[in-house]
Structure 1
Amino acid sequence: MRIDFLGLHAFVAIAERGSFQQAAAHLNLSQTALSHRMKKLEDDLGVRLLSRTTREVALTPAGLELLPKVKGMIEGLSASLQDLRQHGKLRQERLAIGCLPTIAAGRLPGVLARFRAAHPDVTIRVFDNSATEIADLVDQGTAEFGITLLAAHRWDFEVELLAREPFVLVCPAGHPMAAAAAAGWAELEGVPLIRISPHTGNRMMIDDALGSRREQLSWRYEVQHVHTAVSLVRAGLGMTVVPRLALDTVEREGLAVLTLRNPQVVRQIGIVSKRSAPLSPLADELRRLVIQAFAAAEVAHS
Structure 2
Amino acid sequence: MAINFHQLHIFYTVADKGSFSHAAAALHMTQPAVTMQVQSLEDYLGVKLFHRSTKKIELSEAGRALLPYARRCIELVRETEAAMSRFTTMIEGRMQLGASLTVGEYVLPRLLGPFNKEYPNISVSMKVMNTTQILEEILNHQLTFGLVEAQVNHPDVHTEPVLSDELKLIVPAGHPLAERDTAAFEDVLLYPFILREKGSGTRRVMEEELERCGFDTGRMRIVMELGSTGAVKSAVESGLGITILSQSSVKHEVALGLVKVLNIEEVAFRRSFYSIYLATTLLPISAVTFLTFLRERDLSQWL
Task: Name the aligned partner's letter for residue 246 of structure 2.
Answer: P
Cα distance in 2, alignment partners of residues 206 and 190 from structure 1: 18
Is residue 219 from structure 1 mapped to residue 222 from structure 2 by the alignment?
A: yes
Q: Which residue of 1 aligns with 2:102?
A: 102
Query: What residue number does 2:262 align with?
Result: 258
Q: How far apart, CA to CA, are the structure 1 residues paired with 2:217 and 2:235?
A: 20
Q: 2:205 aligned with 1:205, yes or no?
A: yes
- The correspondence of residues 77-88 of structure 1 with structure 2, limited to 5 A, is none
Distance 1:101-1:265 versus aligned 2 partners, 3 A rule: same
Aligned pair count?
A: 208
Instruction: Report how far residue 116 of structure 1 moved.
Output: 4.0
Answer with 1 or 2: which has the greater Rg. 1
Of 148-157 and 98-107, deviating more is 148-157
Unpaired runs of 5+ residues, structure 2, are 1-91
RMSD: 2.8
Could you list the per-position Cα deviations for residues 91-138 of structure 1 after superposition, in whole angstroms to 9, with x for gaps in the alignment?
A: x75431011222222332243334444665655321211122222233
1:151 aligned partner: 151
Match of 2:141 in 1: 141
- Aligned partner of 2:277 in structure 1 is 273
Does the 8 A contact of 2:170 with 2:245 survive in 1? yes
Unaligned runs of 5+ in 1: 1-91
After superposition, residues 154-233 of structure 1 pair within 5 angstroms as: 154-211=154-211, 213-233=216-236
Range with greater deviation from structure 2 (115-124 or 193-202)? 115-124
Matched to 1:188, the amino acid is V
What amino acid is the match of 1:232?
A
Aligned match of 2:126: 126
Q: Secondary structure at the match of 2:216?
A: helix
Once the 2 structures are TM-superposed, how far is the Cα of residue 296 of structure 1 from its aligned partner?
Answer: 2.7
In structure 2, relative to structure 1, the CA distance for the partners of 1:95 and 1:151 (3 Å cut) is: closer
Matches of 1:137 and 1:246 in 2, distance apart? 25
**Could you tell me whether the CA contact under 8 Å between 1:99 and 1:146 is conserved in 2?**
yes
Give the letter for the 1:131 counterpart: T
Q: Is the 8 A contact 1:227 1:250 kept in 2?
A: no
Compute the TM-score of the two structures, normalised by the length of structure 2: 0.60
**TM-score scaled by structure 1?**
0.60
TM-superposed CA distance for 1:244, in Å, is 1.8
Question: Does the CA contact (< 8 Å) of 1:159 and 1:272 recur in 2?
Answer: yes
Percent of pairs identical after alignment?
19
CA distance in 2 between partners of 1:108 and 1:155 (Å): 27
- For 1:73, the equivalent position in structure 2 comes to none
CA displacement at 1:160 relative to structure 2: 3.0
